Amino acid sequence: MQSPKMFIFCRNFDFPNDDFMILQQSVSLKSYNTFGIDATCRYFVELKQRDDVEKWVAMQQQSHDPFFILGGGSNVVFQQCIEKTVVKVSLRGIEAVKEDEGNVWIKAAAGEIWSDFVDYCVENRWGGMENLSNIPGTVGAAPVQNVGAYGVEAKDVIETVECIEIATGQWKRLTNAECQFGYRDSIFKQAFKNQYIIAAVTFRLTKNPKLQLSYGGISSRLEREGIEQPTIADVSRVVHSLRVNKLPDPAIIGSAGSFFKNPIISHDKYAVLLQHYRDLVAFPFEESFKIAAGWLIEQCGWKGRQLGRVGVYPQQALVLYNLGDCTGEEVKQLANAIQQSVKEKFDIDLEPEAIFIE
């Protein structure tokens, strides 16, 4: 390992704490989800250090109670009463584990705030994460969802994921390939769903970044600002600004961010749609095309509309937002209505990014 003198700071993992984790009953989850839904759970436990994780896993092996692993709460929609134990992963720590001439490997604990961690990497001039700026959530949730924005996904920078298997209590370190990343997908949403707790993620970042500027108006914004040789800090700042302009601040307006995945369709279907909709917003994706879900929703007339106490955000049709004290059931009803409209008009199935928890 190289000398730590290069870092602005380095927080140690697993601060000493003599307090045993506390299992609470009937806890309000309003402050634990960015949609601001006032739901309650049967039990609530917060894991703040590695020992807590191992203790809870041992308890779970005995009880076999239903549970839900909670990160930043930015991608969930809670129903009124959750008959499960909600397990909040709050492990903290950032550590440089390796470095060579062109790269640096940074390990971040699962409870670190994702946007803060990205800012930390940008400040240290480590490239690869700048397009993922200002995304809500935690580091531990990033590999589960394979978060992405503006042409970059978490899989592009993840080296390994450290996790514990709940059934056995065995710690594992999965490689990037073993995580089986896909579009907003990973093994943690498929074969390993509800079987592991992610404790930390190691990222491989570069000291010589190759900037990704071709998505979402980044290059045009930089041109308007007269920046001919942008840095990762410039890209991060522009991405942050673009997201602020399109998406509501969850501290002010409750939402789960982008609510639906961009659907992927075949070349043939794309060609047929293009004949009828010359302004179709789509991007090549592997051997197919990815259609902008926000465009589909807007074409169905949902942008700016509301149903009960939930609405479709006027600045971005991909976002559903809380008009005030909405319930998870109201969110589900609006989501279902939008999905039905898109299916009827375009014969395309919209899949939510947000997860409904009951």
Write the CA distances from 200 to 53, 79, 238, 280, 353, integer angstroms.
12, 29, 28, 40, 23
Q: Which of 92, 184, 237, 243 is catalytic?
A: 184
Pairwise CA distance, residues 234 & 228, whole Å: 11
Q: Which of 54, 329, 353, 358 is catalytic?
A: 353
What CATH architecture applies to the domain 24-89?
Answer: 2-Layer Sandwich (3.30)
Distance CA 47, CA 316 (A): 35
Q: How far apart (Å, rounded) are the C-alpha atoms in residues 164 and 233?
A: 35
Give me the pLDDT at residue 20, please. Answer: 57
Residue type, 63: S
Given a cut of 70, whether residue 215 has pLDDT beyond it is yes
Domains 24-89 and 255-357 share a fold: no
Question: Distance (Å, rounded) from C-alpha 139 to C-alpha 163?
Answer: 13
CA distance 75 to 70: 10
Q: From CA 253, how far away is CA 243, in angstroms rounded?
A: 14
Question: How do residues 130-172 score in pLDDT, each as one tens digit?
Answer: 999 999 999 999 999 999 999 999 999 999 999 999 999 999 9
Instruction: Indicate if 258 belongs to the active site.
Output: yes
Rounded CA separation 298/25 (Å) = 42
Q: What is the pLDDT of residue 21?
A: 74
Residue 171, SS3 per DSSP = strand
184 is catalytic: yes
Q: What is the pLDDT of residue 96?
A: 95
Catalytic: which of 115, 133, 186, 258?
258
pTM: 0.89
Please report, for the chain, the start and end positions of each structural domain, with discontinuous segments joined by +.
Answer: 24-89, 255-357
The CATH number assigned to the domain with range 255-357 reads 3.90.78.10
The amino acid present at 80, given as its one-letter code, is Q
